[in-house]
Structure 1
Amino acid sequence: MVLDDNEDDSVFELQITEQQVDTLYGKVYCTIAGLSKPNCPVILTYHDVGLNHKMCFESFFSHEDMQEIIRHFPVLHVNAPGQHEGAVSLATEYIYPSMDQLSETLPTILKHFGFTSVIGFGVGAGANILTRFALNYPDLIEGLVLININPNAEGIVESVTSKITGWTQTVTETVIAHLFGKKEIESHHDVIATFRHDIMTYMNESNLAQFMRSYNSRQALELKRPVPGTNHTGRTLKCSSLLIAGDDSPWLEVVVDCNSKLDPTRATLLKMADCGGLPQVDQPAKLTEALKYFVQGLGYMSSSCMTRLSRSRTTSTSSVMSTDSGRARAHTDELQRGLWSAHRRARSHTDSSVDGISTNHTGSKPERC
């Protein structure tokens, strides 16, 4: 049961449903938390290589600050084939889908559950898959939150390095190097040890290796930033997008480069200070705050939520960010100014963009859920 908006935040029971959905590219294991609401999008998550939806998102969506959001939106967690906890080895004749093919499973999944619009939330390989989905099905996507998005194909140097690493490292150690930066691996021993244990315990190594090979064989997204005043026909995202990477993420430079290829009126870049490869694990409260601003900029969640959010802004800088980190506060303030300004202008039905968040398509959208 999901309670109505006027009921106490601390007392609600979340309905969870697990199903395997048949698609053209095999069975896809999905978990739904919450109930669908009229005229309300579903938050669709997609995990990174080496993780499943529980390892990638469970702690984040269980965080106390996230409860306000999951009361407003149903959440659909999608696992790549064979990556869910307890998965048996894929059949020997099974050909693992490409990134494009994995993105093509999503319309089938949405139709199966009866969802008609999506706010995508992807990490790494999942961010790449959701971006492909958004490019091919723009009418189904209302917004994207992309952590560690890499729009490029694997280069020659990376390909050779990956093959050599595959000869000298286990799949688990290759995943650890993919998920975390060198600084994290050297200094956050407890976190690394936990993820190493979970990968070895809960992931099917054979299936994981196939997903990793698929991701490493991906084609470039070929994104191109629109040029104002021209008849631009290049490939670009048409929805509002929030790109996120930690300052210590191994993918920070790639994410910054991806942002430079997107429409600046629709994309915002958030570099999270004192944070590594998994911001949703390192800084869930700060990421939740950014997500609240983002969905409000899309025209969702009641304005009363801003009262609680304002209180979280007061405490989050000291409790989540390092107090001696000036750049942490700078990044936070920049995000708050950009997303809060976009939210206000969207609510005022303006037709322009503020600090990289597009409002021309959200200004006329009524509050719906």
Structure 2
Amino acid sequence: MPECWDGEHDIETPYGLLHVVIRGSPKGNRPAILTYHDVGLNHKLCFNTFFNFEDMQEITKHFVVCHVDAPGQQVGASQFPQGYQFPSMEQLAAMLPSVVQHFGFKYVIGIGVGAGAYVLAKFALIFPDLVEGLVLVNIDPNGKGWIDWAATKLSGLTSTLPDTVLSHLFSQEELVNNTELVQSYRQQIGNVVNQANLQLFWNMYNSRRDLDINRPGTVPNAKTLRCPVMLVVGDNAPAEDGVVECNSKLDPTTTTFLKVRLSSPAHPVSLSTVPSASMTRLARSRTASLTSASSVDGSRPQACTHSESSEGLGQVNHTMEVSC
């Protein structure tokens, strides 16, 4: 890989072009940080706040960052032609090895939010040797049942697409109480992302299948994520139940569960509340288990409380709660 690929790239994959933005340059054999945004957003709307956060500078100094935009979701994207078949969630995951190979990454640490978290989990299941670790924010491992599917269809008939997507990003309480913030996102979703392309991504996300994972030992030949995983969810977030269920299906010895309690309004996809020490340890887990991210760094003890909790079969996994 050349010394610097900093900037925008269009990468050819088996399922079409992917828009990718590289920030920084490769640092030896360290993994790249690869991000994947939620539906309704793109890498700028989803991750700019996080990577501009002061405490993240320590991490970005040491790792190249690769932002992936889902097909047609980037700023200024052309509208897909009539009849275009948007890639399935599995195909979106299968596009990522082309990105890894194009830039010569040996492996990546994935940071995904919502739909992007689902895609990265799929990626890690299909291509485990390419993934060093995952941070999955607001992941819902479950496909929609018939009732949920019908409710989504009905919502699409009675609400605008931005409003429908907002109900995925925000809790009902936030939609009612944080009107200024919600209005800001409504405008950005409506003006920044091509609406026809967004509709295709939204439809595909809502037709996803269950993420085929089970905690090791619970069923014969159980599939699970082999890499260390940090699960992150906001208190009372729409995806809270899904994240808790995902936690119950992962190996408790390599999984960290981080629950963020917000004492003031914060946008639903900001990761700036994740303790910098935990993120640093995650990113430095090249030779050590990512479960070290569950340890609370002494430099910021006031931000976190750390507890051991039993999940599922009584096995212990690492749990943190952060109040902000």
Q: TM-score, normalised by structure 2?
A: 0.87
What secondary structure, in the 3-state scheme, does the structure 2 residue paired with 1:72 have?
A: coil
> Superposition pairs for residues 17-56 of structure 1, below 5 Å?
17-56=7-46
Distance 1:334 1:298 in 2: 23
| 8 Å contact kept, 1:42–1:115 | yes
Distance 1:96 1:295 in 2: 32
What secondary structure, in the 3-state scheme, does the structure 2 residue paired with 1:284 have?
A: coil
Q: Does 1:123 align with 2:95?
A: no
Distance 2:97 2:205 in 1: 20
Distance of aligned partners of 1:15 and 1:189 in 2 relative to their CA distance in 1, 3 Å threshold: farther
Larger Rg: 1
Match of 1:80 in 2: 70
Structure with the larger RCO, 1 or 2 (CA within 8 Å, 6+ apart): 2
| 8 Å contact kept, 2:79–2:196 | yes
Distance 2:130 2:75 in 1: 28
**Given the alignment, which residue of 288, 293, 296 partners 2:281?**
293
Distance of aligned partners of 1:279 and 1:40 in 2 relative to their CA distance in 1, 3 Å threshold: farther
Distance 1:189 1:292 in 2: 34
Q: Does 1:246 align with 2:259?
A: no
State the percentage of identical aligned residues: 42
> Superposition pairs for residues 128-143 of structure 1, below 5 Å?
128-143=118-133
Match of 1:226 in 2: 216
What secondary structure, in the 3-state scheme, does the structure 2 residue paired with 1:286 have?
A: coil
More helix by share: 1
What secondary structure, in the 3-state scheme, does the structure 1 residue paired with 2:274 have?
A: helix
Distance 1:119 1:216 in 2: 26
Q: Does 1:269 align with 2:275?
A: no
Distance 2:173 2:31 in 1: 38
Match of 2:169 in 1: 179
Match of 1:9 in 2: none
More strand by share: 2
> Superposition pairs for residues 191-230 of structure 1, below 5 Å?
191-227=181-217
| 8 Å contact kept, 2:5–2:24 | yes
Match of 1:333 in 2: 305
Specify every segment of 5 or more residues in structure 2 that has no aligned partner in the other structure, as ranges. Answer: 289-296, 310-314, 320-324
Distance 2:277 2:203 in 1: 35
| 8 Å contact kept, 1:245–1:277 | no
> What's the Cα RMSD here?
2.3
| 8 Å contact kept, 1:184–1:248 | no
- CA-to-aligned-CA distance 1:330-350 (integer Å, 9 cap, x gap): xx2117x89xxxxxxxxxxxx
Distance of aligned partners of 1:287 and 1:159 in 2 relative to their CA distance in 1, 3 Å threshold: farther
Distance 1:67 1:174 in 2: 34
Distance 1:123 1:19 in 2: 22
Q: Which amino acid aligns with 1:75?
A: V
- CA-to-aligned-CA distance 1:19-62 (integer Å, 9 cap, x gap): 11111211110000010122110000000000000000011101
What secondary structure, in the 3-state scheme, does the structure 2 residue paired with 1:249 have?
A: coil
Distance of aligned partners of 1:123 and 1:240 in 2 relative to their CA distance in 1, 3 Å threshold: same
Aligned-residue offset at 1:264: 0.8
Aligned-residue offset at 1:101: 0.3
Distance 1:267 1:51 in 2: 27
Distance 1:247 1:180 in 2: 11
Aligned-residue offset at 1:142: 0.6
Distance of aligned partners of 1:354 and 1:34 in 2 relative to their CA distance in 1, 3 Å threshold: farther
| 8 Å contact kept, 1:44–1:118 | yes
- CA-to-aligned-CA distance 1:43-86 (integer Å, 9 cap, x gap): 00000000000000011101111000001110000001000011
Distance of aligned partners of 1:194 and 1:289 in 2 relative to their CA distance in 1, 3 Å threshold: farther
Distance 2:269 2:71 in 1: 23
Q: TM-score, normalised by structure 1?
A: 0.77
Q: Which amino acid aligns with 2:152?
A: S
Specify every segment of 5 or more residues in structure 1 that has no aligned partner in the other structure, as ranges. Answer: 1-13, 301-308, 318-331, 339-352, 358-369
